[in-house]
Chain A
Amino acid sequence: MWNMTQLEYGTLARRANQIKDELRQGVRRPYKEVIDVFQGDLHKAGMKPLTFVRQVLAACVYPPLINSSNLPLDVRQRTQEELRRCVGGSVGEGNVCGLMMWKKHENASPRTGVLIPVPCHNKTVLSIMQLGAVAVPYYLSEEQGWALQVEELQRALESAKGVCNPVALYIINPGNPAGYVQSQKSVQEVIRFAWEKRLFLLVDEVYQDCVYGENCEFVSYKRTLSEMGPPFSGTVELASFHSVSKSFSGEYVCGLRAGYVELVNLDPAVMKYIHTLFSKDSCETVLGQIALDLMMDPPKPGDPSYLLYKQVVNSLPGFSCSPIEGGLFAFPRLHLTPKAIQKAKELGLQPDTFYCTRLLEEGGVFTGPGWEYGQKEGTYHIRYNTSRDVMEELLRRLSSFHMTFMKDFS
């Protein structure tokens, strides 16, 4: 078994489930239900699904519905199109599969390294460790709206010397947990860096449809790469990932498990093996593939609102939040007092875990502590998804809890 034992995971989640059970059984708590904003799953947070997608999926699953007058004509036509199509071309859970290509035996030297952002989606770190590779952190600059600085990439690369052989640079744009959206200039800088240092670009773009910051625009790495022309466009190796789980402002079908990876400039000989790797996992779920297809060609999506939480959160003492330009999460910084940090140490907890635990128990809000995603030493954050439906209640509880907490530990 590989070396994953040092990672802590799931304690807060287990407690959250426990509390949910207790509430179901009628145990009295200061709140009637837990607001679960830990994951980027908006169904859980109460968001309603998009009717069109669900209608098409239902009709694909049970074709007699094609003749049902209860379903709109476009739904029925679209269903017939989907069913006619040959759903070949397996797509995999792109992130993990892409990383598999470099996995080496643990005792091979040097070990493969992957540069990853701090903060980062923790599943990625787990996946990398699971494969026996080394995660090399590069720190995003919180003071500059989580900007990615090339000097920092250089520093990270230097730090890997003698430790591992960095072959890939993992980017999340728009960011998770920190909801930044990279500017075109930043994307170009990264591509140039990858070209210079011969790094394989792994770009997680699953939140590309969740962009709402003012003057923010999602620019894909593929497009930028192509527009940069030679020598970059023909040589930089790129894998971009997308998913139905986070697409559709308004529809999130995480449970269907579908996504895709687009590969650019890969060695044709390697492509053959990628094909084999995908084929042995049989296929992606068919419903997922249909949802993916609908995502690529959707009906009009709605626009999420987003500014409310930024206003409230930035007005709380001891809280600060960079502008949230995209993605599904807020990653505000907690300025904890020495007293609070001391108390956390006494309990053997990371300071932000301590905060999140208290927030769960007393406020009934389930959030993620910053240390699970990585952060600059001495800083603390929490992450929660910015589901519109529960935002008001969440902010109310958060404000109330936070004021009490700050008072208790002043």
Chain B
Amino acid sequence: MKSMSKITLQLQRCARDITNMSQQAVNGVSHRGRVLTLDSMNPNVKRVEYAVRGPIVQRAVQLEKELKEGVKKPFTEVIKANIGDAHAMGQKPITFFRQVLALCSYPALLEDSKFPEDAKQRARRILEACGGHSIGAYSASQGIECIRQDVAHYIEKRDGGIPSNPDNIYLSTGASDAIVTILKLLVCGEGRDRTGVMISIPQYPLYSAALADLGAVQINYYLDEDNCWSLNITELRRALSAAREHCNPRVLCIINPGNPTGQVQSRQCIEDVIRFAKEEHLFLMADEVYQDNVYAEGCQFHSFKKVLFEMGPEYSNTVEMASFHSTSKCYMGECGFRGGYMEVINLDPEVKAQLIKLVSVRLCPPVPGQALLDLVVNPPQPDEPSYATFMKERTAVLSALAEKARLTEQIFNTVPGITCNPVQGAMYTFPRVTLPQKAIDKAKELGLVPDMFYCMRLLDEEGICLVPGSGFGQREGTYHFRMTILPPTEKLKVVLQKIQEFQLRFTQEFS
């Protein structure tokens, strides 16, 4: 048996497992329909939706095309405030990062005197760690070792010295890749035993899409809009016990700072969540990609790992957790590089071996993204030549975001029919909009969800592309939209004003 090819072995196993299999007649007969139709397609795919790039964005792209072709519209450009893509909205990249990446891409530049020494030193170190000294080579599937070490040091420094083991760090293609990978490990079981995954409402639709794709059971816990989108343990308990009736809840996902809501969890809240996860035997997934995007006074980012360890060995030795970070957000905004990592805590060693096997199938995360991540966790230090410029650029980006967060909240709250919670962090605002009953009826007539109808009209009339709240989840009977705070301040002011004007017109039309 051992000398047989593995593939043949697998085929034989399948043959032994036959139950209720109907004979396929197709292969002996020529049917002239397509092989791949909506009916023969993976049914899970039908449930996958990703509103951030959904129908409204397709409409926006359509309008852009028409504008290019010279079609007259009430606006001269489409402002895509739907996606957290900083550079697309004019944010400038960090000079130091781009210099090092250029050096890595074309190492002959290491001889160019126009590049600072600290950039060259980092480029050399990264290239040294790459196969053939080239970022074009595949890397180890878990990510380049010295970069994982740097990530571990960064985490230790960030968390006040709590040790981080590079073996627990997995570099990934953006954070999304790592999130889906962990979910793949966690989701199993049939029927009532099917894995249930708790996720906040509202949530970033990668989660709902991944859960639909994997056929997991999505367990919604509602954030409290009246209290700045805070998380209540009572609500977690409610959601969990209801879910136990029909699935096997094993995972609790939390996004902090939040997307789309922007709330920054207090330290107390994080402790409560960890305690809850331990009591209810849940695997914690902490999405912390916005950890540098904290603006509101009195708010501070507390990493789940740090809090976990400060709660003592009773928790830090037992609670299983994965935290995620990325190069797409914060002050870098390098979405296109697809850099990211996850740190796993208390993962079963045998499962870790399977995890390594799983990530090996996709070979490796993009190497330029890994290189960029290395710079993010190992930026210029005070004694280095690039430090001053780096800090200036970093501060400029973060303070601009803070200012725009404040401005957005302030202006939206002056508009009748729109209420807006403080944007404590992240890059978005998720205001609630009160829609007149007539508008809701009209939407139903058109077969649209009411907030989609609202956003489509806004897009058609003002050329502003937002994402309807239904794409993120919201309490029944409430409507929201998500807007990014990324456009440059002057443009943002214009956007806010146009939304204000639209809101007034819309309300009047449907009064």
Contact = CB atoms under 8 A, between A and B. Distances in A.
Interface string A125-156: 11101100011110000000000000000000
B449 to A, nearest CB: 17
Contacts of B34: 235, 237, 265-267
Interface string A1-17: 11011111110000000
A386 interface: no
A130 B367 contact: no
Contacts of A9: 357, 360
A245 B363 CA distance: 11
Interface stretch (A183-191, A271-279, A292-300): A271-279
B27 A198 contact: yes
Interface in B111-139: 112, 114, 130-132, 134-139
A294 to B, nearest CB: 12
Chain A at the B interface: SS class: loop
B99 A62 contact: yes
Contacts of A100: 42, 45, 213
Contacts of A365: none
A366 to B, nearest CB: 12
B365 interface: yes
A4 B357 contact: yes
| Chain B interface size range | 35 or more
A102 B106 CA distance: 41
A274 to B, nearest CB: 9
Interface in A200-221: 200
B356 A280 contact: no
Contact of A111 (B14, B112, B139, B365): B14
B208 to A, nearest CB: 10
A2 B188 contact: yes
Contacts of B132: 41-47
Given A251-B136, A280-B48, A196 B11 contact: no
Contacts of B6: 6-8, 125, 371-372, 374
Interface in A245-283: 245, 251-257, 265-267, 269-270, 273, 276-277, 279-283
A163 B18 contact: yes
B109 interface: yes
A351 interface: yes
B362 to A, nearest CB: 6
Contacts of B210: 280
Interface string B23-48: 11011001110111110111111101
A163 B112 contact: no
B447 to A, nearest CB: 16
B3 interface: yes
Interface string A69-87: 0100000000000000001
B105 A61 contact: yes
A285 B360 contact: no
Nearest to A119: B5
Contact of A110 (B22, B186, B188, B213): B22
Nearest to A54: B106
A282 B357 contact: no
B310 to A, nearest CB: 31
Interface stretch (B217-225, B333-341, B420-428): B333-341
B42 A104 contact: yes
A279 B50 contact: yes
A280 to B, nearest CB: 4
A1 B72 CA distance: 54
A44 B5 contact: no
Given A41-B137, A280-B206, A374-B7, A256 B38 contact: no
A49 B136 contact: yes
Contact of B5 (A2, A251, A285, A374): A374
Given A2-B188, A61-B101, A135-B11, A199 B136 contact: no
A124 B338 CA distance: 23
B249 interface: no
Interface stretch (A164-172, A318-326, A402-410): A164-172
Contact of B41 (A109, A256, A270, A377): A270
A235 B137 CA distance: 39
Contact of A43 (B4, B54, B137): B137
Contact of A255 (B7, B9, B26, B138): B138
Contacts of B487: none
B145 to A, nearest CB: 10
Contacts of A105: 215
A316 interface: no
Contact of B105 (A58, A351, A371): A58
Contacts, number: 286
A210 B465 CA distance: 45
Contacts of B42: 100-104
A127 B409 CA distance: 46
B3 A161 contact: no
A350 interface: yes
Nearest to B145: A17
Nearest to A106: B190
A161 B24 contact: yes
Contacts of A59: 102
A257 B365 contact: yes
Contacts of A125: 6-7
B336 to A, nearest CB: 3
B188 A1 contact: yes
A129 B338 contact: no
Interface in B314-369: 328, 335-338, 351, 354, 356-358, 360-369
A47 B130 CA distance: 13
A244 B128 CA distance: 23
A378 B357 contact: no
A361 interface: no
A157 B27 contact: yes
Given A10-B360, A164-B14, A266-B36, A4 B354 contact: yes
Contact of A104 (B43, B103, B138, B358): B43
Contacts of A166: 24, 27
Given A44-B132, A59-B102, A199-B35, A377 B4 contact: yes
Given A103-B44, A118-B5, A273-B46, A200 B138 contact: no
Given A137-B5, A265-B34, A285-B336, A253 B49 contact: no
Contacts of A167: 35-36, 40
Residue with the greatest number of chain B CB neighbours at <10 A, chosen from A65, A87, A283, A372: A65
Contact of B335 (A61, A199, A200, A282): A282
Contacts of B392: none
Contacts of A135: 7, 10-11
B137 A44 contact: yes
A159 B11 contact: yes
14 contacts: A6-B6, A59-B102, A65-B109, A68-B112, A93-B362, A103-B42, A118-B5, A127-B361, A162-B15, A167-B35, A255-B135, A273-B45, A287-B337, A287-B368
- Nearest 10 CB-CB pairs, A to B? A286-B336, A255-B367, A43-B137, A62-B102, A58-B106, A43-B132, A44-B131, A279-B53, A280-B50, A58-B105
Interface of A: 1-2, 4-10, 36, 39, 41-47, 49, 51, 54-55, 57-59, 61-63, 65, 68, 70, 87-88, 93, 96, 100-105, 107, 109-111, 116, 118, 120, 123, 125-127, 129-130, 134-137, 157, 159-168, 196-200, 235, 237, 245, 251-257, 265-267, 269-270, 273, 276-277, 279-288, 345, 350-351, 371-372, 374-375, 377-378
Interface of B: 2-11, 14-15, 18-24, 26-27, 30-32, 34-38, 40-46, 48-50, 52-54, 61, 98-99, 101-103, 105-109, 112, 114, 130-132, 134-139, 173-174, 176-177, 184-188, 190, 205-206, 209-210, 213, 215, 328, 335-338, 351, 354, 356-358, 360-369
Given A39-B138, A116-B7, 4 more contacts: A57-B106, A61-B98, A101-B45, A162-B23
